[in-house]
Structure 1
């Protein structure tokens, strides 16, 4: 089928587009600019590239019509962040496509309560991003129920892979945390380190999109978590990363009020957002209905990304 991917040169698209091409689909990659994907693959030679700046096109009121004009059988939207944007595109595509797939977020759940969190638990999002993603999900499901719009929503956790920094054991993106763990130096962790993070390799996210297309009858009208088999506590994460480097983790646990004064405002903001959510998602539904089977554990996904980062930066431990 002809598959239109909006935002196809980012983290997910880097792995998703080759998977789709190898599965025999004709792929159109829509992006703001014809940028180089994170990972080279010969499949990109057969991809049709269309340049559209979504923000500018939506301001001009012609983004949806441009996507419709591409005549796709399937549309995958990886970069939708408001319910209004989702509404305009889905209404324009309704009756014209066989399947619409939206990339959501585990943030739709807000604080973890009963874990592992399942897809049917009540949404209690907080923060602009989580609230917006939850509103998009609610709209798309409502539109499906009203009109039969063929939508599937996938909710990834912390996406990671070679080429970008993973959430670290302090709950932020500062790579120095990994360097210190590798050297056996002290790493300060907020509270008791029992909050959780839940990573997923970008290729496993790509797998879930392809599985949704292949199992369309089970996927339409549903939301699915897309994460690794298990979440990690900050403490367990730190200890496992140190062990990977032949070290014993040298951890210091500080009350939040003390810990927040030891880091930059950016690191503090990211850490608070991650530990306040403490995601831990169930993938039973995706495994049962889609046949989703993550190839990477959280640790394996992070370790691959960190090894790539160390190599790129010339960091030798």
Structure 2
């Protein structure tokens, strides 16, 4: 609806309730974002595949319009963008876009509407860290399908905005943590044996010296970043932002702090990557994917332009997940589950 009153009243500048469509609304971030948006007075449309309820129950969901859609199938048919546009959002938060082709379809459908598009990226767009902390405009060398595709999506979206097209912004979370799903361990994988060994004081093999960094973020802090971007698209449009905790943790520092949750001292033995791979099996590749990047990202830009202030440290974000998994001490210094 180019030139319509509705197109002109999209979220511009500070404040104002608008109609927000959240794609992937019942996932990690959406479970926290949707209640935030409802609480801020926005009209919220929650679009998901309909295969699960939000990770976090909240009465705000009773005030949300729910829409079920299979994005993969509709992208393949070329209909997903049109479906989103027909729902007449003033703003779209896209939490589950993983290819430039999918992003392009949505941009083309939204371009005539005057909507604002906020996309969820990842700090993996940086590839191996060359400086610390990373800034959004640092030179990049992404590798692997996920980081490479996300970097291409960011380039597409920001070029669209800077050329005078659809207003977009990209938020890059770290390792998203919170209650209801497994959390990246101090070894950069999802192996539950890492938590067991830390909880019992057993020896834990650590590849290298354990000085690589991991940058976690609580899902609610990522949601905060999106809420703040929607509140001030004038500052957010055409920009990308890191949304992470205040500081990253080293492998060794994370493991030692986590062991203290169970009243233990971490027994860490540095080994070569070859020995670690032989001992860790299928989990070793995930460790390499995380630790070879060794990310520590700056939030200065998000703080300055959006007013973003993370509410959880990396350690606090990880602990909320471990606690929800039933793995904290039961009073006898052992695992409760």
Aligned partner of 1:244 among 261, 267, 274: 261
For this pair of structures, how many residues does the alignment match? 316
For 1:282 and 1:12, locate their aligned partners in 2 and report how far apart those are by CA, in whole Å. Answer: 20
Q: 1:95 offset after TM fit, Å?
A: 3.1
Answer yes or no: is the 8 Å Cα contact 2:75–2:105 preserved in 1: no
Structure 2, unaligned runs of 5 or more: 1-17
* Residue aligning to 1:298: 314
Give the CA deviation at 1:91. Answer: 1.3
Distance in 1 between the 2:42 and 2:233 partners?
15
Structure 1 Cα separation of the partners of residues 75 and 219 of structure 2:
27
Deviation of 1:141 after TM superposition, in Å, equals 1.0
Structure 1: runs of 5+ lacking an equivalent: none
RMSD: 1.5
User: What displacement does 1:185 show?
Assistant: 1.3
For 1:125 and 1:290, locate their aligned partners in 2 and report how far apart those are by CA, in whole Å.
26
Question: What do the CA deviations read for 1:39-97 (whole angstroms, capped 9, x no partner)?
Answer: 11000011111111001111111111100100000001000001111111111101313
> How far apart, CA to CA, are the structure 1 residues paired with 2:222 and 2:149?
21
C-alpha deviation, 1:244, in angstroms: 2.1
Counterpart pick for 1:73 among 69, 79, 90: 90
Assess if the C-alpha contact under 8 Å between 1:75 and 1:97 holds in 2: no
TM-score, normalised with respect to structure 2: 0.91
Question: Pairwise mapping of residues 41-120 of structure 1 onto structure 2 (< 5 A)?
Answer: 41-120=58-137
Using the TM superposition, give the Cα deviation of residue 194 of structure 1 relative to its aligned residue in structure 2, in angstroms: 0.7
Q: What is the Cα deviation at residue 146 of structure 1?
A: 1.7
1:316 aligned onto 2:336: yes
Aligned to 1:9: 26
Deviation at 1:311, TM superposition (A): 5.6
Match of 1:283 among 299, 303, 307: 299
5 Å-filtered alignment, 1:106-255, equals: 106-255=123-272
1:310 deviates by 1.7
What is the DSSP-based 3-state SS (H/G/I as helix, E as strand, rest coil) of the residue aligned with 1:264? helix
SS in structure 2 of the partner of residue 28 of structure 1:
strand
The alpha-carbon deviation at position 35 of structure 1 amounts to 2.1
Query: 2:78, 2:105 within 8 Å by CA — same for their partners in 1?
Result: no
Structure 1 position 22, deviation (Å):
0.3
User: What is the CA-CA distance between 1:147 and the residue it aligns to?
Assistant: 2.7
1-structure distance, mates of 2:39, 2:222? 16
Q: TM-score, normalised by structure 1?
A: 0.97
Residues in 2 aligned to 1:188 and 1:233: alpha-carbon distance in whole angstroms: 15
Alpha-carbon shift at residue 34 of structure 1 (Å): 5.3
SS in 2 for 1:277: coil
Once superposed, which parts of structure 1, at least 4 consecutive aligned residues long, lie more than 4 Å away? none
Is 1:20 matched with 2:37? Answer: yes
CA offsets 1:108-151 (integer angstroms, 9 cap, x no match) = 00000111000011221000111000000011111112233210
Do the aligned residues in 2 keep the contact of 1:72 with 1:97 (CA within 8 Å)? no
